[in-house]
Amino acid sequence: MGKGYFDSKNKEYVITNMYPERPWLNYLWSETTYGSVDQFGNGENATFINSTRRVIETGERNLYIKDLETGEYYSANKNYNREKFDVFECHVGLGYQRIISEYKGIRTEFTIIVPKDLRATSYHVKVTNVDKTQKNVDVYFMTEPNANLTWHYAYGEADYDKNSKAIIYTHKAYDCNLPCKFCYLATEKDVYGFDVNRASFKGVYNGYDNPAGLKEDKLYSKGINFNDGYVGAFQYRLSLEIGETWETAITCGVSETQEEIKTFSKLCTSKNFYTELDYQKTENAKYHDVFYLETPDSVLNEQSNVWLKRQLAYGKTWGRGGGKGFRDVMQDITAFCSFDTSLARTRILHALKHQYEDGNPIRMFEPNFLYPYNDGAVWIPSAIISYISETDDISILDEQIPYLSGTSREKSVYDDNSFAYAPYDGTDYQTTVFEHVKRAMDYLLSARGERGLVLFYGGDWNDSLNAVGKLGKGESVWLSIATVKALNEFEQILSVYGKSDLIEYYSDKKQELIDSIKKNGYDTDHYLYGINDYGEKIGSDENPTAKIFLNPQTWAVLADLDTKENLEKLMDVVETRLSCDFGYVQCTPSYVNGSDRIGRMSYFKKGCYENGSVYNHGVAFKIVADCLLGRGDNAYDTMLKIRYDNKLNPNCVVEPYAVTNMYFGPENEYRPGYSPASWITGTAGWLYRGITEYLCGVQPTLKGLKIAPCFPSHFETVKVKRVFRNTVYNITYLRSTENKIVVDGETINSNVLPLGKDSYNVTVYFK
Amino acid sequence: MGKGYFDSKNKEYVITNMYPERPWLNYLWSETTYGSVDQFGNGENATFINSTRRVIETGERNLYIKDLETGEYYSANKNYNREKFDVFECHVGLGYQRIISEYKGIRTEFTIIVPKDLRATSYHVKVTNVDKTQKNVDVYFMTEPNANLTWHYAYGEADYDKNSKAIIYTHKAYDCNLPCKFCYLATEKDVYGFDVNRASFKGVYNGYDNPAGLKEDKLYSKGINFNDGYVGAFQYRLSLEIGETWETAITCGVSETQEEIKTFSKLCTSKNFYTELDYQKTENAKYHDVFYLETPDSVLNEQSNVWLKRQLAYGKTWGRGGGKGFRDVMQDITAFCSFDTSLARTRILHALKHQYEDGNPIRMFEPNFLYPYNDGAVWIPSAIISYISETDDISILDEQIPYLSGTSREKSVYDDNSFAYAPYDGTDYQTTVFEHVKRAMDYLLSARGERGLVLFYGGDWNDSLNAVGKLGKGESVWLSIATVKALNEFEQILSVYGKSDLIEYYSDKKQELIDSIKKNGYDTDHYLYGINDYGEKIGSDENPTAKIFLNPQTWAVLADLDTKENLEKLMDVVETRLSCDFGYVQCTPSYVNGSDRIGRMSYFKKGCYENGSVYNHGVAFKIVADCLLGRGDNAYDTMLKIRYDNKLNPNCVVEPYAVTNMYFGPENEYRPGYSPASWITGTAGWLYRGITEYLCGVQPTLKGLKIAPCFPSHFETVKVKRVFRNTVYNITYLRSTENKIVVDGETINSNVLPLGKDSYNVTVYFK
């Protein structure tokens, strides 16, 4: 049995092995609410109100079928006992998850979405008699709502409300400012029984594989209060003729008032469910239309046309889940701009509210996390450039946006383990977005050490180097290089915003920085990662471990820091020293002794995270760097190495439809190549840009769409459809003996495509 | 099948129905480490280092037997599939828990203790072939150690260390000050296989009823790092002749260094286990010898001779588990003094370090919780009196003990939901214990409002009245009455400590307080609970709900506040207005609308906790009050009402060997009479004192052992053995036409027994 397949027509991945080595996840979200779902449809979801995270359901869900003739029952979405189902598969969709089963003449379809405008998850259950006789069955749905908002169970109560056709969970607590105190589980169809209490539904000593409540004719069907384990369970009694289908919608959500539940529960209909599902499909279809790729590599096509888009769109709103990392959101928006320019604009403006007055952003917002990582500012210009390039909308730079009060140095809290969170602290003081970007650059240029390099403070991209700069002396070579890249982008902003008079100043500053990097930042054959508070080199051949890091080398290319020849040498070193069967390690060899002059990274076990794993965010930087140097084969081979189907890494266990942030590195003693998680990674955005902007070379620029492909040598023909500033470009790439771009039959002298018509047919001849 | 029985000889309760309505708990503890265990031997344990709670195991434990001929396996301690075991019972012991099973010719005994000097739980597994043929079986033990101390799994690693014969779990984290970073699972006997990873042992999609690892010949037997779910599992391969027994010790503990594990693991022997078990038995036997009761009521005998002692001894060290409530510890020590006077002294002195300089203690220590409940000081004199009465050791009053810096008003934090904890803040400033007690009284006398009553601030005994006094105006009638009682006790301390000159001052102050109570604290036929910040009466017939509270009435008796006649009327009101089939409610009728002028209590659902439940701590006060008024029948009937075997409350689900803090009140809409938990309650100490000091009337006083029985009318003969100040009193009570005490054949004129001889035979004739 295979693991599953891409269903290109329906934009689904169909999981056929329902018991992968670890659960395979999908993410469902609106702009207020998100959740993960595994191949069974299980997984926690939560809604955010300002900075408060309100969990809605804790994740356990089951759809049971009981045959009323035999009394036998089973979970149709989990099949605990692994019976021989005729059909058992999970359709991983864009904005939905659908688990389908057929067993003993009953077909079930269990579909899950996060509706657009409710703080809720919606379910749709469809049961069909595919047998040759009439069937009498009970259908049970259960989930675990997060009903106890404080540890005082005595506040809590749950009961079924016939008028609302919903179980209502209340937790009216003294002195409790948590939003959305009410929780509900609404049903479209009438129920035969219900339960709210885990002890009676599941049984005190049973598992969900064998819930006690199902042994009775009818669920307990009474309310409860003072309960430590609530469930929401509905029982429906069906008599199905041959071929007959029954369906119901179910919604589990939260509300501010009990009154609202009356309204919300009325929305719980199959009709509304289908409308929401259509919305998801339509919304995602927009993303597909923007960029469509046909290469000889069908997986590459799937990734770029469908799945990476979805994954990075998650990141542009939700960061990495637990909070919205400023840098994470910024990078994902940079990749997202083409999908929905209006939403991209909104998210950029929202993020920029989280800069201090000195221009430095906080590390994470909603909730606001104050550990003084120092790289936030470098990610701003690229998001702005990406947005303006995509839209030609310079007006974003005129928007007035407030700051967080104070400066980052005043507010810094070096407390990583216990998390120093702060409430939102926006001021009335505001400036233009342009000024926000300028201050970001000024901050980086001012926060420099005795060697002229940008200071580490709490760490940079490498947030596990969190002890290198605590004393305010350690300097980061990588962050200095990244600042050079940011200044390159800022110069474009100055130019397009009519501030060319400032270019010379920033250009001089940039050169100063480049000189410092070259003087103080180079080791035997590569750039250092940095120098810590004690003057000790990080990423040097002087050291017994962590002699070389990946990112300073790749970013030297991204920042165009040197001659092409020197940069090529640098990338040769990357190939020689950092390559492994399934990617490129973040550093080598891994630290083996924790050092309080280095930080977290040095305490991590070998091959974990920054300490020598194949950290794919960094690998995606490397892919872009390869393309910038014209090394299409290297770039493509690197993509293949980190892909789920790399034959040299058969136990990577990663979802085929999602990229992972990490494979344990080759030095890991127990599980080299294993991926513990996916989705929550900046890899998706950078890989998407790597494929579209650098491999295919379809680059939005301020002047228009630039074409600069860098395909691997065995790609002969490639097709791309790109919608850019309301213009459709149908691009065919053909391998040739010359480089030439033909637009609507005319060879053009630029590599920037024309604008003005509704569509263009473009042929790109490449060597 | 019954639920179980008391095995008086072995001081055990034997659970025979292994699936009670909710898990039945036992508690195991040393002075550093504690854990709860249910009838399967499952339950979390933790150790305290200063104020830090370090969980050792999260609670899931299994002992599996696999028949190597058939490949079948089962959990001997849980019997998930409820097979027909020949024997399946749990022996609830004093300081140990033992689960015994016999199935298909294999007998297992699985015993659990918390060893005296290790931060650990120790297990002993005994497997016997009781079949008629030789048996080849694999024995598996598994637990879930709490190995990840931070959320960075990358720090964590676990592997089996052959030298130590232990799995060692490390979590060497950057900037992590948590104590006891190392965890180990040591085995006495050699293992055939082991596992450290939940995913391979249990399986990603399996339950512990059907662990995947057991399907293989050998457990995975490799280490792992970066793991979100560790287990500790050992596999032993046995070949047992007919009648042969195999045994091993296993210890799961934590340590400061990896080096220590070598030492600790060597201690993991069956011999040491038996020594520890003996220690538990010996230690508890001391408690038994101090007071031994024979009445016509065998359950009453079991309670007072064995189980209440154990339960209150838990409280004297561990408070209520999550932290050490000052008032909880003080009350339990008051009841504990006779069991181990030296330990009682230590715990009193330790607790008194948690008074501010103004005499007011914090609510809870280890961790220190700063919510300004105002009743802490009233519990001090009774603990001191109890200790001195038991020992005649007045020197405790001369001990120098420090204070917490500052005053309670300076440090108060009104933040109940998010918990305001503070580090230990002891100063060098110290005084005698006498001064500590005096300051406690001075604090109470100074913290009074405009009506002359003691202020509520954050609440008092009734900590759910936490909004009545936030503005510093609300006054508590109950706390004023309790202060009168404390002053009664303080006068005794003044007298015995040679400070009689101060008695007049405190006596005047007490009278002032009594006058204020009588003037402002009385309603129609009962005492109010208090008056809130807004001048609104709490516990008045003026109100639609909570018209009368239990505690002010019973404490009026305890404080001897009025004439006997008036106090009797008051207790008649209690009988009339607060009685129900299974006890006495804390107030009636329950609040139905949350009020921010009342606090938490008013938001609680009807019949929960202070809001109208049968809160047994209060019921125990009532029992003492009954005895003080000579109402032995009322006292005894009340004991029967709250007992597990009350026929009018058949679904109370409480452990027969432990008292519960609460039965949901009769007004509860869903589960009146139900007890959600046990053990963690001040009921045990007060009920123990109620039975021993008030029903049997064996009262330690400063002058000696006073005899003042108050038996129910059907008790004709009672025997008590009491060891007091190294003197053995063998007391026989005989119902008679006169009250008379005969000691060694001589009638005495006092009700205080003589001291001086090793033992006395006492006959108490009572009407």
Identify the pLDDT of residue A414. 81
Q: Give the closest-approach CA distance of B601 to chain A in angstroms.
A: 8
What is the fold of A448-657+666-681? Glycosyltransferase (1.50.10)
Pairwise CA distance, residues B761 & B742, whole Å: 8
Task: State whether B172 and A670 contact (CB < 8 Å).
Answer: no
From A671's Cα to the closest Cα of chain B, the distance in A is: 8
Interface probe with B: pick from A78, A604, A667, most Cβ of B within 10 Å? A604
Look up residue A223 and give its amino acid.
G
What pLDDT, on the 0 to 100 scale, is given for residue A420? 63
Does B109 reach chain A within 8 Å, measured CB to CB? Answer: no
CB proximity list for B647: less than 8 A, separation 6 or greater: none
Using the Cβ of A205 and the Cβ atoms of chain B, whether some distance falls under 8 Å is answered with: yes
* C-alpha–C-alpha distance, residues A56 and A474, integer Å: 43
Q: Tell me: the pLDDT tens digits for A653-711?
A: 999 999 999 999 999 999 999 999 999 999 999 999 999 999 999 999 999 999 999 99
**How far is residue B83's CA from residue A468's CA, in Å, rounded to a whole number?**
60
CA-CA distance, A173 to A169, in Å (whole number)? 13
Global confidence as pTM: 0.95
A223–B669: do the CB atoms touch at under 8 Å? yes
- Please give the pLDDT value at position A177: 81
User: Which fold, B296-698?
Assistant: Glycosyltransferase (1.50.10)
Contacts of A37 (CB under 8 A, 6+ apart): A25, A26, A27, A28, A43, A97, A112
Residue A603 CB neighbours (<10 A)? 26
| Gap between the Cα atoms of A135 and B91, Å rounded | 49
For residue A304, give how far its alpha carbon lies from the nearest alpha carbon of chain B (Å).
31
Helix (H, G, I), strand (E, B) or coil at B322: coil
Q: Do A670 and B611 touch (CB under 8 A)?
A: no
Chain A from 578 to 607: CB within 8 A of any B CB: 594, 596, 599-600, 602-605
Q: Among A281, A362, A355, A292, which Cα is nearest to A324's?
A: A362
Cα gap A311→A682, rounded to integer Å: 9
Alpha-carbon dihedral sign for residues A157, A160, A163, A168: positive
Alpha-carbon separation of residue A443 from A365, A414, B66, B195, B205 (angstroms): 19, 19, 66, 51, 50
What is residue A417's predicted lDDT score, i.e. its pLDDT?
A: 57
pLDDT tens for each residue of B133-164: 999 999 999 999 999 998 899 999 999 999 99
**How far separated are the first and last CA of chain A, in Å rounded?**
42
Of A172, A603, A608, the CB nearest to B603: A172
Report the topology of domain B716-766.
Maltose phosphorylase, domain 3 (2.60.420)
CA–CA distance, B712 with A417 (Å, rounded to integer): 60
Q: Are B171 and B260 in contact (CB under 8 A)?
A: no
Q: What is the CATH number of domain A21-268?
A: 2.70.98.40
* Phi, psi for residue B27 in degrees, rounded to 5: -120, 140
Residue whose entry in the numeric block shows the structure tokens 């007391």:
B731
- Give me the pLDDT at residue A39, please: 98
More confident residue, B192 or A367: B192
Of all residues in chain A, what percent carry a pLDDT higher than 90?
92
> How many residues can be counted in chain B?
767
- Give B156-181 pLDDT, tens digit per residue: 999 999 999 999 999 999 988 888 89
Phi, psi of A229 (to 5 degrees): -140, 95
- 8 Å CB contact between B540 and B547: yes
> How far is A477 from chain B, CA to nearest CA, in Å?
23
Residue B698 β-bridge partners: B707
Hey, are the CB atoms on A176 and B608 less than 8 Å from each other?
no
pLDDT means over runs of 10, chain A (767 residues) = 88 97 97 96 92 92 98 98 97 98 98 97 98 98 95 96 97 88 97 98 96 98 96 98 98 96 97 97 92 98 96 90 89 97 96 96 89 96 98 98 91 70 78 98 98 97 96 98 98 97 98 98 97 98 98 98 98 98 98 97 98 98 98 98 97 96 97 95 97 98 97 98 98 97 97 97 97
Task: Express each pLDDT in A146-160 by its tens digit.
Answer: 999 988 999 999 999
Q: Which residues of A touch B611 (CB under 8 A)?
A: 154
Distance from CA of B671 to the nearest CA of A (A): 8
β-strand pairing of B291-294 with B230-240: unpaired
The crossing angle, in degrees rounded to 10, of helices B551-558 and B477-496 is 20
Residue A565: is it exposed, middle or buried by C-beta count within 10 angstroms (0-12/13-18/19+)?
Answer: exposed
- Given pLDDT bands bounded at 50, 70 and 90, which one contains residue B367? confident
CA neighbor of A277 nearest in space, from A114, A430, A412 = A114
> Residue B448 CB: number of other CB atoms within 10 A?
19
Backbone angles phi, psi at B384, to 5 degrees: -65, -45
The tokens describing A192, both together, are 């035969």
Q: Burial letters for B653-691: b for 16+ Cβ neighbours within 10 Å, e otherwise? A: bbbbbbbbbbbbbbbbebbbbbbbbbbbbbbbbbbbbbb
Compute CA distances A108 → A101, A102, A567, B374, whole Å: 5, 6, 57, 60
Please name the fold of domain B4-283. Beta-galactosidase; Chain A, domain 5 (2.70.98)
Amino acid occupying residue A614 = V
d(CA A343, CA A173): 37
**Identity of residue B306:** V
φ and ψ at B544, to 5 degrees?
-75, -25
Report strand pairing: A324-325 vs A746-748: unpaired
Please indicate if any CB of chain B lies within 8 Å of the CB of A653. no
Q: Which segments of A104-257 are extended strands (E)?
A: 106-113, 120-129, 135-145, 156-161, 166-171, 182-187, 193-197, 224-225, 230-240, 245-255
Residue B501 tokens read as: 């000159």
- Quick check: A223 contacting B, CB < 8 Å? yes
Q: What is the pLDDT of residues A208-264, one digit of tens each?
A: 999 999 999 999 999 999 999 999 999 999 999 999 999 999 999 999 999 999 999
pLDDT score at B417: 57
- Model confidence over B521-551: pLDDT tens digits? 999 999 999 999 999 999 999 999 999 999 9
Given the DSSP bridges, would you call strands A759-766 and A727-735 parallel, antiparallel or unpaired? Answer: parallel
Do B477 and B461 meet the contact criterion of CB atoms below 8 Å apart?
Answer: no
Of B155, B199, B605, the CB nearest to A225: B605
CB pairs under 8 A between A and B: 122
- Give dist(CA A355, CA A698) in Å, integer: 32
**Span between the terminal Cα atoms of chain B, in Å:** 42
CA angle B568–B573–B574, rounded 5-degree value: 95
- Kindly list the strands in the beta sheet with B740-743, ordered across the sheet, starting from the edge strand earlier in the chain: B291-294, B717-724, B727-735, B759-766, B740-743, B746-748
Residues of B in contact with A173 (CB under 8 A): 417, 600, 603
DSSP A655-684: -TTS--SEE--TT-SS-TT-----SSSTHH
Q: Annotate A556-617 with DSSP letters as a single string.
A: HHHTT-S-HHHHHHHHHHHHHHHEETTEE-SEESPP-S--TTT-HHHHSPTTBTTBTSEEHH
Tell me the average pLDDT across B404-428: 76
Nearest residue of chain B to residue A197 (CA atoms): B670
pLDDT, residue B22, reads 96
Whether B404 and B426 have beta carbons less than 8 Å apart is answered as: yes
Residues 232-291 of A with CB under 8 A from B: none
Closest by Cβ to A226, choosing from B176, B207, B608: B608
Interface probe, candidates B174, B225, B419, chain A, greatest A C-beta count within 10 A: B174
How confident is the model at residue A421, as a pLDDT?
Answer: 67
How many residues appear in chain A?
767
Tell me the average pLDDT across B321-326. 85
Residue pair B740/B765 in contact by the 8 Å Cβ criterion: yes
Cα B184 to Cα A73: distance, rounded to the nearest angstrom: 42
Which residues on A lie below 8 Å from B155 (Cβ)? Answer: 603-605
- Give the pLDDT confidence score for residue A320 in this predicted structure: 82
Cα separation, B349 vs B401, in Å, equals 7
**Cα angle at A687 between A685 and A693, to 5 degrees?**
90
Give the nearest chain B residue to A675 (CA atoms). B226
- Return the domain boundaries, chain B: 4-283, 296-698, 716-766
Distance CA A640, CA A30 (A): 32
Which residue among B153, B156, B600 places its CB closest to the CB of A174?
B600
Closest chain A residue to the Cα of B598, Cα to Cα: A174
